[in-house]
Structure 1
Amino acid sequence: MVNGKQKLFQIGLHVVFSAIVLMCLLPFVLLIMTSFTDETMILREGYSFFPSKFSLDAYAFLWNDKENIFRAYFTTIMVTLVGTFAGLSISSLLSYPMARKEMPMRKALAFFVFFTLLFNGGLVPTYFIYTQVFELKNTMMALIIPGLLTNGFFVLIMRTFFMNSIPVPIIESASIDGAGEFKIFFKIVLPLSLPILATIGLMQTIGYWNDWFNGLIYITDSKLFSLQNLLNRILLNAQFIQSNASSMNMSDISAGAKIPMETIRMAMAVIGVVPLLCAYPFFQKYFVKGLVIGAVKG
């Protein structure tokens, strides 16, 4: 009887989680299918998983700007890689000392990190500091540093992980054997911290990849546009052409009328999200473990 109840419970659990998985996957499937749907079919029939007519007009429209898109891809990939590596380095080097009980003023430092989560200087002072003092405008650093390089939330999660998951006897043993603090950190602590490093790394990767705000504020040079900024500008240009076609000549009117706005939006979303979907499986086995352990109160 007990086994029967357990089987029914497991079956129900599988059904519930399968439904949740479908609810998460179906929007992506609809997004991809809509990007390959003919614009007139969307206007006539609405969004569908099985469109009656396929079209590559949206991707053809974006392909006309392929050089800028490839350049923006390269910029975004470089910014994501450099920013994620630098952010992980800074966060781990800051959070590990706060996890060591022998560090003086570690509680004060933890409060200072927490304070940054509650208050900031505001957009205008931040803009002037980065552009006038540090002179980051129209540089790659403007896409890496402001608002993304470090995050107090990530630092506190890593601190909790170090406190709860790194055995103190191992550190003490290594110290007795003559290992210095840097050797302990790089040879012992970091190899044991792969779950939290992968978790924070994935969060920072998503943050850098999806960021458009820094590019909007600090970048005016088109050669430095990130992927999100470029796609946003392409969409705005297409909307401008379509909305102002009546005041242009006949060739512009026909061009504006043929722009598939709905499918362009979907195609841009596919271009922006597919690389992250491809990267996520490599982080998945560490993600849940690192997030759960790092979120436990220390």
Structure 2
Amino acid sequence: MEILVISGLSGSGKSKAASFLEDIGYYIVDNLPAEMMVVFAEFCAASKGRYDRVALVYDVRTGEPAQKLIDALEQMKTAGIHCRMLFLEADNQSIINRYKETRRTHPLAGGGVSVAQALQKERALLQPVRDHADFVLNTSGFSASKLHSEILNLFSDASLEDGMHVNVLSFGFKNGIPVEADLVMDVRFMPNPYYIEELKHKTGLDDGVRDYVFSFSQTSDFMRRMEEMLSFLLPLYSEEGKTVLVLAIGCTGGHHRSVAVAHALAEYIQNAGYPVTETHRDITR
């Protein structure tokens, strides 16, 4: 049985990380007080395998001193439970930007306290927790795809048992190249559906756009060569020990060509026997 505690700064990505862990088989419990963790761990241990992998999200919302969490972890370890802790953090500007985008309120802000002041207080409160963590992940500048890759790399048994996991990511160059990309391909040489009135407001996941993109010989030639390159590269990356490979496909805006090509490549890679995640970063921008 495994207990994974997810802690860290508000706005650093704990909820996203929890959802990704849920996708790979963890049972998630959010905002559980430290003393209840010990009781819940005992319940899980007695469940005869029903709750073998549990992730508990813990942050300043509990209003407890950090030492209570540390004591609870030590108590569970003493009881023979495999316990680890993941601590997420990010720089102030990244967190402030995220709060602006979501229009949520930092749990320690309000009443004249700014997000920056709340973060300063939160960092101090959680410093003992950070010092006790097994993994510290700085998510500054992370996309959801990058966080997903990191979580898979750290905690996915499937990535170890089934081989390398491939994340095929479409994006728009005007929004920047994804920092997490291992391989970047530029498909801006393909004819652009954006200039076809009936396709302009659709995406590469729509049949009309896909049919248009793949109606040109240069697209077919590109796909053939790309599939040949992937059939050569993927086994080599896997043999080298890479657990997550991010393949980024870019066009101008990330709505049409890159989406259609990324979708087709994800299907090819899946058929080749690799676990695949398909992400379209800029499709709604």
TM-score normalised by structure 2 residue count = 0.25
TM-score normalised by structure 1 residue count = 0.24
Structure number with higher strand proportion: 2
Q: Which has the higher contact order (CA 8 A, sep 6+)?
A: 1
Larger radius of gyration: 1
